[in-house]
Structure 1
Amino acid sequence: MTTSMSGMILIATLFLFLATGMPIAFALGLAAMGGLFMAMGFEVIGIVAETMFAGIGNLAFVSIPMFVLMGAIVAGSPAGADLYRALDRWLYKVPGGLVLSNIGACAVFSGMTGSSPATCAAIGKLGIPEMMNRGYPASVATGSIAAGGTLGILLPPSVTMIVYGIATETSIGRLFLAGVIPGLMLTAMFMAWALIDARRKGFRFDTSGLVYTLRDKLAVLPRVLPLMLIIVAVLYVLYGGVATPSEAAGAGAMLTLIVVMVVYRLYKLRSFSGIFGSGMRESVMIMMILASAELFAFALSSLYITQSVAEVIAALEVNRWVLMGVINVFLLVAGLFLPPVAVIVMSAPLLYPIVIQAGFDPYWFAVILTVNMEIGLITPPVGLNLFVIKGITPQVPTKEILWGALPYALVMVLAIVIMCVFPQIATFLPDYVMGPAI
Structure 2
Amino acid sequence: MDPLTLGLLVALVTVVVLFSGTSVAVGLLIVSAFFLLVFDGTRSLQMLPEVYFADLNSFAILSIPMFIIMGASIASTRAGGDLFEAIERWMTRVPGGLVVSNLGACALFSAMSGSSPATCAAIGKMGIPEMRRRGYSDEVAAGSIAAGGTLGILIPPSVTMIVYGIATETSIGRLFLAGILPGVLLVGLFMAWTIFSTWRSGAINLLSPRTYSLRERLEVLPRVVPFLVVIAGVLYAMYGGIATPSETAAVGALLCLLMAIIIYRMWQPTALWAVLRDSTRESVMILFIMAAAGVFAYMMSSLFITQSIAEWISQLDVNRWVLMGVINVFLLVAGFFLPPVAVILMTAPILLPILTAAQFDPYWFAVILTINLEIGLITPPVGLNLYVINSIAPEISLKTILKGSMPYVLCMVAAIVILCFVPQIATWLPDVVMGPAI
The code of the aligned residue for 1:64 comes to: I
Structure 2 match to 1:215: 215
Contact 2:40 2:303 (C-alpha < 8 Å) held by counterparts: no
* Distance (Å, rounded) in 2 between the aligned partners of 1:130 and 1:386: 19
Is 2:428 aligned against 1:435?
no
Contact 2:92 2:208 (C-alpha < 8 Å) held by counterparts: no
User: How high is the sequence identity, in percent, across the aligned residues?
Assistant: 58
Which aligned pairs between 1:92-171 and structure 2 lie closer than 5 A? 92-171=92-171
* Distance (Å, rounded) in 2 between the aligned partners of 1:31 and 1:93: 56
SS in 2 for 1:272: helix
The code of the aligned residue for 1:22 comes to: T
Structure 2, unaligned runs of 5 or more: none
Contact 1:182 1:426 (C-alpha < 8 Å) held by counterparts: yes
The Cα shift of 1:57 comes to 1.8
* Distance (Å, rounded) in 1 between the aligned partners of 2:4 and 2:392: 43
The Cα shift of 1:121 comes to 1.6
Deviations along 1:348-393, one digit per CA (max 9) or x if unpaired, are 2212122121112221111111111111111122111112112222
Structure 2 match to 1:37: 37
* Distance (Å, rounded) in 1 between the aligned partners of 2:388 and 2:298: 32
Is 2:179 aligned against 1:185?
no
The code of the aligned residue for 2:287 comes to: M
* Distance (Å, rounded) in 2 between the aligned partners of 1:33 and 1:136: 52
Deviations along 1:162-205, one digit per CA (max 9) or x if unpaired, are 11212222211111111111100101101112233444455343
Root-mean-square deviation over aligned CA pairs: 1.6
The Cα shift of 1:44 comes to 4.9
Distance 1:161 1:264, change over 3 A: same
Is 2:19 aligned against 1:19?
yes
* Distance (Å, rounded) in 1 between the aligned partners of 2:185 and 2:265: 37
* Distance (Å, rounded) in 1 between the aligned partners of 2:124 and 2:353: 39
The Cα shift of 1:409 comes to 1.6
The Cα shift of 1:211 comes to 2.5
* Distance (Å, rounded) in 1 between the aligned partners of 2:131 and 2:208: 16
The Cα shift of 1:231 comes to 0.6
Structure 1 match to 2:172: 172
The Cα shift of 1:97 comes to 1.2
SS in 2 for 1:212: coil
Which aligned pairs between 1:190-201 and structure 2 lie closer than 5 A? 190-201=190-201
The Cα shift of 1:249 comes to 0.5
Query: TM-score, normalised to structure 1's length?
Result: 0.96
The code of the aligned residue for 1:25 comes to: A
* Distance (Å, rounded) in 2 between the aligned partners of 1:202 and 1:33: 59
* Distance (Å, rounded) in 2 between the aligned partners of 1:406 and 1:40: 46
Structure 2 match to 1:254: 254
The code of the aligned residue for 1:435 comes to: G
The Cα shift of 1:70 comes to 0.7
Contact 1:107 1:151 (C-alpha < 8 Å) held by counterparts: yes
Which aligned pairs between 1:250-289 and structure 2 lie closer than 5 A? 250-289=250-289
SS in 2 for 1:160: helix
Q: Which moved more, 1:179-188 or 1:126-135?
A: 126-135
The Cα shift of 1:56 comes to 2.0
Contact 1:140 1:198 (C-alpha < 8 Å) held by counterparts: no
Structure 1 match to 2:89: 89
The code of the aligned residue for 2:63 comes to: S
Structure 1 match to 2:383: 383
The Cα shift of 1:300 comes to 1.9
Contact 1:376 1:383 (C-alpha < 8 Å) held by counterparts: yes
Q: Which moved more, 1:188-197 or 1:255-264?
A: 188-197
SS in 2 for 1:436: coil
* Distance (Å, rounded) in 2 between the aligned partners of 1:312 and 1:130: 54
Deviations along 1:107-133, one digit per CA (max 9) or x if unpaired, are 111111211111112111221121111
Structure 2 match to 1:48: 48
Query: TM-score, normalised to structure 2's length?
Result: 0.96
The Cα shift of 1:28 comes to 2.2
* Distance (Å, rounded) in 2 between the aligned partners of 1:151 and 1:221: 22
* Distance (Å, rounded) in 1 between the aligned partners of 2:167 and 2:122: 30
* Distance (Å, rounded) in 2 between the aligned partners of 1:14 and 1:388: 27
